[in-house]
Amino acid sequence: MKKSNTTKSTAAKAEPQQPVAKVKIGAVSAAIWANETEKGTRYNATIERRYRDANGDWKTSGSYGRDDLLTLAKVADQAHSKIVELMAADRAEEQADAA
């Protein structure tokens, strides 16, 4: 499962980058991204909170209130676990390719 959010320049319109996984609890979510480097795939996460503004439009924020912090910690923990899982799958794939 080697996915990357890196793009190649082409004449055609590039597809938007997509996360390789997502974790969500309530209004807080994490997107996990794969980045190909010379040393292999590196994973990172972006975390955001969704809310509706006064007009009813959906917005995102990187600011967390007191009541969001425990949820933020749980999402971060689950994102970490997912990254560890993805890294293990990458190692297994590399070992299978080497055999």
pTM (predicted TM-score): 0.80
Per-residue pLDDT of the chain (99 residues; tens, 9 = 90+): 445 555 444 555 677 889 999 999 999 999 999 999 999 999 999 999 999 999 999 999 999 999 999 999 999 999 999 999 999 999 999 899 888
83 CB burial (10 A radius; 0-12, 13-18, 19+) = buried
Query: Smallest Cα–Cα separation from 28: which of 80, 73, 58, 66?
Result: 73
